[in-house]
């Protein structure tokens, strides 16, 4: 494994399998009462988010905390960045504080690479401009492998605003690397001119592709990144490229519907479609924590993943205490009391 995760190009197919297999060991930790292992005790992970984020920031924070790392959440509001501090000076400050890993999200493509020049720890790209979002792609691979049982030969379509989507880039590179067949679908104005060089197919007609798919991956229309009018109206976009119930009927049985979030219900995906059982959007979020635990562990940790997952301190496990009949609720005689309660 490389020291940093800046792009899917930093990880080989073998590394990807290792990351997903390691995530398998950590998935179980999230189902325990005490969701914590001591694998990264004493290590410091900084979340440096220059752009808004809900799920990615919380997911990284939970992943680091479940590995027992010390976590510092840094956001631009309320920090010296709002007083004009540069990325370099912020990075040097974090370096001086001994960060072992820095997770960065930034609106400028290439910021994570720049950061590697100023900090000694590992840098993980949590989304940089329209460039890449490699941890999203890895959690998507994990979810596809978990649900379909393989990655090789899987037929996937990535639908929508590919031009502005770092998710579409990372996911296309990752799926092609693992031997999947990828079709990008969207209006011609939102498909990058370089897309054919990614090893993918391109289509402008969603309905002709749907019957072949194992995975239909919908993208948000990234209006905050669009600097011109790429389609006549949102209504027309939804009519031509939105995933409606009628279009879901054209998918083979068992095909997955995926979305990286945040969703614009009623634009790229109908609200009732987002709530269907084959829409695995919440599973993607859950799997994201295990995959980010795996990455932090492989970049910073030591020992085998199985050892790390098995190594929960007994002091942290809840004790089973049986209350006397009179004190216990009638429906439940056993309660769990945490050792440090």
For ligand MLT, the closer of residues 189 and 322 by Cβ is: 189
Q: Per CB under 6 A, does 133 bind ligand MLT?
A: yes
| CB 94 to ligand MLT: min, Å | 22
- 120 noted as active-site residue: no
- 227 noted as active-site residue: no
Compute the CA torsion angle 145, 170, 3, 262 (nearest 10 deg). Answer: -80
Query: In the complex, which residue's CB is closest to ligand MLT?
Result: 220
Q: Per CB under 6 A, does 190 bind ligand MLT?
A: no
Per the CB < 8 A criterion, the answer to whether 144 and 215 are in contact is yes
Task: Report the DSSP beta bridge partners of residue 122.
Answer: 101
Q: Which two tokens stand for residue 127?
A: 């989304």
| CB 284 to ligand MLT: min, Å | 10
For ligand MLT, the closer of residues 43 and 133 by Cβ is: 133
Radius of gyration of the chain (CA): 22
User: Per-residue contact track with ligand MLT, 195 to 214, x per CB under 6 A?
Assistant: --------------------
- 105 noted as active-site residue: yes
Compute the CA torsion angle 51, 221, 139, 213 (nearest 10 deg). Answer: -170
For ligand MLT, the closer of residues 39 and 171 by Cβ is: 171
For ligand MLT, the closer of residues 137 and 293 by Cβ is: 137
| CB 254 to ligand MLT: min, Å | 25
Q: Per CB under 6 A, does 164 bind ligand MLT?
A: no
Rounded CA separation 122/184 (Å): 32
Catalytic member of 131, 133, 145, 169: 133
Rounded CA separation 183/181 (Å): 7
Catalytic member of 56, 130, 143, 183: 56
- For 341, other C-beta atoms within 10 Å of its C-beta total 8
Q: Which two tokens stand for residue 287?
A: 């799997």
- 18 noted as active-site residue: no
User: Per-residue contact track with ligand MLT, 255 to 294, x per CB under 6 A?
Assistant: -----x----------------------------------
- 4 noted as active-site residue: no
Q: Per CB under 6 A, does 136 bind ligand MLT?
A: yes
Rounded CA separation 144/239 (Å): 27
Decide: helix, strand or coil at residue 296.
Answer: helix
Q: What does each C-alpha distance from 5 to 89, 170, 221, 274, 308 come to in angstroms?
A: 22, 12, 26, 30, 21
| CB 130 to ligand MLT: min, Å | 9
| CB 109 to ligand MLT: min, Å | 12
322 alpha-carbon distance from chain centroid = 41
CB-facing half-sphere around the CA of 129: CA atoms within 13 A: 8
Among 112, 121, 127, 192, indicate the residue that binds ligand MLT (CB under 6 A).
Answer: 127
Catalytic member of 18, 35, 36, 55: 55
* 208 backbone dihedrals φ, ψ, rounded to 5°: -75, -20
Q: Per CB under 6 A, does 112 bind ligand MLT?
A: no
| CB 136 to ligand MLT: min, Å | 6
Size of the site for ligand MLT (CB under 6 A): 8
Q: Per CB under 6 A, does 220 bind ligand MLT?
A: yes
DSSP string, 198-232: GT-EEES-HHHHGGG-SEEEE----GGG--S--SS
Catalytic member of 43, 57, 66, 105: 105
User: Which residues are catalytic, by number?
Assistant: 55-56, 83, 105, 133
Residues engaged in binding ligand MLT (CB under 6 A): 127, 133, 136, 166-167, 220, 222, 260
């Amino acid at each position: 494994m490389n020291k940093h995760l800046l792009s899917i190009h930093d990880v080989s197919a073998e590394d990807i399998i290792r990351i997903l297999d390691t995530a398998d060991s950590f998935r179980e930790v999230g189902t325990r009462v005490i969701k914590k292992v001591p694998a990264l005790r004493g290590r410091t992970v900084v979340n440096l988010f220059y752009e808004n984020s809900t799920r990615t920031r919380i997911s990284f924070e939970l992943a680091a905390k479940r590995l027992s790392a010390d976590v510092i959440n840094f956001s631009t509001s309320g920090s010296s960045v709002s007083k004009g501090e540069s990325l370099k000076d912020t990075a040097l400050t974090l370096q001086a504080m001994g960060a072992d890993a820095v997770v960065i999200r930034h609106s400028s493509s290439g910021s994570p690479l720049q950061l590697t020049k100023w900090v000694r720890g590992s840098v993980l790209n949590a989304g940089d401009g329209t460039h890449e979002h490699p941890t999203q792609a890895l959690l998507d691979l994990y979810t596809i492998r978990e649900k379909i049982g393989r990655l090789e030969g899987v037929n996937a379509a990535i639908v929508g605003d590919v031009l502005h989507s770092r998710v579409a880039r990372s996911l296309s590179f990752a799926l092609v690397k693992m031997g999947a067949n990828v079709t990008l679908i969207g209006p011609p104005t939102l498909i990058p001119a370089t897309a054919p060089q990614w090893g993918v197919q391109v289509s402008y007609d969603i309905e002709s592709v749907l019957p072949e798919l194992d995975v239909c991956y919908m993208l948000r229309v990234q209006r905050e990144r669009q600097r011109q009018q790429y389609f006549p109206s949102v209504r027309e976009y939804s009519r031509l490229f939105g995933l409606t119930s009628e279009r879901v009927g054209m998918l083979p049985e068992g095909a997955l519907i995926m979305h990286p979030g945040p969703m614009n219900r009623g634009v790229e995906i109908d609200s009732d479609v987002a709530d269907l059982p084959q829409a695995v959007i919440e599973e993607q979020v859950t799997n994201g924590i295990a995959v980010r635990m795996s990455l932090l562990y492989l970049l910073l940790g030591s020992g085998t993943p199985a050892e790390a997952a098995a190594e929960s301190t007994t002091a942290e496990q809840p004790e089973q205490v049986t209350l006397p009949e009179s004190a216990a609720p009638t429906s439940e005689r056993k309660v769990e009391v945490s050792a440090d309660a």
